[in-house]
Amino acid sequence: MSKAPITAQRRDKADVFSLAFLDIISCGFGAVVVLILIFKFDPFPDDTATPTQQTDNAAAFAKIVAEAELSKNTAEEKTALEQLASARAANDSSYQDLQQRLEKLRKKLAIAEASNTEKQQQLAALQNQIEQVTVAGATTTAPADRDEEAGGILVDRDYVIFIVDTSGSMREIWGRVADRMTVLLEQHPRVKGIQVMNDSGSYLISAYAKRWITDTPKMRERILKIFNLWSAASNSSPAEGLERALIDFQSSTQNMSIYVLGDDYSGGDFDGVIETVRRLNTGGARINAINFINPSASTDRFSILMREITFDNNGTLITM
């Protein structure tokens, strides 16, 4: 019974301050632990953060440089576009100038063509006048007082040979040549024989070489048809054709007329050709010549040669 009071007395003497102090210390330590867990304290920072910052700075610098380069390129392209615009404006101005010049040239060309047409009409009128000079039905005897400048072509022979230059320059005016051939045939309405060869001595119809073609309407039509398509080789010299005609038809020279059609003479010997024709033309064949004025002909040597030959052989030279 005596021990119970003693225990109660001991509990009453417990130190309250010591327990409170321990609680405070525990709470403080716990708070420190919580702070450490929440905030990771690192007294020695990691050096690897520095390169990352440097990399970011380099990237930012590169970006600034790129933007500056882009601005520079943009400015250059803008300048180039402005230059192109200026060049285009200059080209447009030049184009307009060229258009104006072209229009003026077209007007001048139209005027020149009109003038050329007028000249061609005048030339056609002169040709008609020349054709009217031709004398039909004359005698075989040459007139005593012959007009050396504009004598008519006598169509008094029964046999006719046409020697035609078929060179390139003549082919350019072949329409005119064919028309003249038609007129010459019409001016001989009735003959005993016809023959056609080129200036080199090649016959138009080889089947009739060295013999006369009988004059019929059908044969005349055939001659003109083949003549329009004729393209024999030629050296632009009537010397060979004249020699061939006078040799192959020697027996008919007394009643024969020769017409030489050409625009140029490429040979260099005048006297030799004249002497050869004089020697071969023993029967007195009449030799006439038609000289075609052609811009493509290089000289007037044909007219010089044929003037002497026609005069020497009772013929006539006509230039057209």
pLDDT at 19: 66
* 185, 282: one domain: yes
The one-character DSSP state at 212 is: P
Structure tokens at 249: 């038809």
Q: Could you tell me if residue 102 is inside a domain? A: yes
Q: Residue written as tokens 């258009």?
A: 99
DSSP SS3 for 194: strand
Core vs surface per residue 91-112: b (16+ CB within 10 A) or e:
eeeeeeeeeeeeeeeeeeeeee
Identify the domain boundary among 132, 161, 181.
132
CATH of the domain at 240: 3.40.50.410
Shared-domain flag, residues 171 and 269:
yes
Residue 249 and residue 115 share a domain:
no
Dihedral sign computed on CA atoms, order 122, 126, 129, 131: negative
* Residue type (1 letter), 28: G
pLDDT score at 12:
52
The reply to whether 1 falls in a domain is: no
The two tokens of residue 253 are: 């020279």
State the distance between the two ends of the chain, measured CA to CA, in whole angstroms. Answer: 182
Specify whether 160 is located in the same domain as 304.
yes
Q: Are 296 and 155 members of one domain? A: yes
Q: How many independent structural domains does the chain possess?
A: 2
Q: Quick one: 164 and 263 in the same domain?
A: yes
Output the pLDDT for position 101: 86
- 73 lies in some domain: yes
Same domain, 90 and 200: no
Tell whether 312 is covered by a domain: yes
Residue 155 lies in a domain: yes
- Taking the C-alpha atoms of residue 299 and residue 176, their distance in angstroms, rounded to an integer, is 19
119: containing domain: 68-132
164 lies in the same domain as 90: no
pLDDT of residue 46: 55
In a domain, 10, yes or no: no
pLDDT of 268 reads: 85
Is 138 domain-assigned?
A: no
Alpha carbon distance 238, 199 (integer Å): 5
- Collapsing DSSP states into helix, strand and coil, what is residue 131? helix
With respect to residue 21, please indicate whether it lies within any of the assigned structural domains: no
In this structure, are 126 and 273 located in the same domain?
no
Instruction: For residue 75, report the phi and psi dihedrals to the nearest 5 degrees.
Output: -65, -40
Indicate the angle between helix axes 271-280 and 239-248, nearest 10 degrees. Answer: 10
The pTM of the full predicted model, rounded to 2 decimals, is 0.55
In this structure, the answer to whether residues 180 and 293 fall within a common structural domain is yes
Classify residue 258 as exposed, middle or buried by CB count within 10 Å of its CB (0-12, 13-18, 19+). Answer: buried
**Same domain, yes or no: 221 and 111:** no
Q: Which residues of the chain have pLDDT under 50?
A: 1-3, 7-9, 132-151
Using the structure block, give the residue that is written with the tokens 């119970």: 4
DSSP three-state, residue 257: strand
Q: Are residues 184 and 266 in the same domain?
A: yes
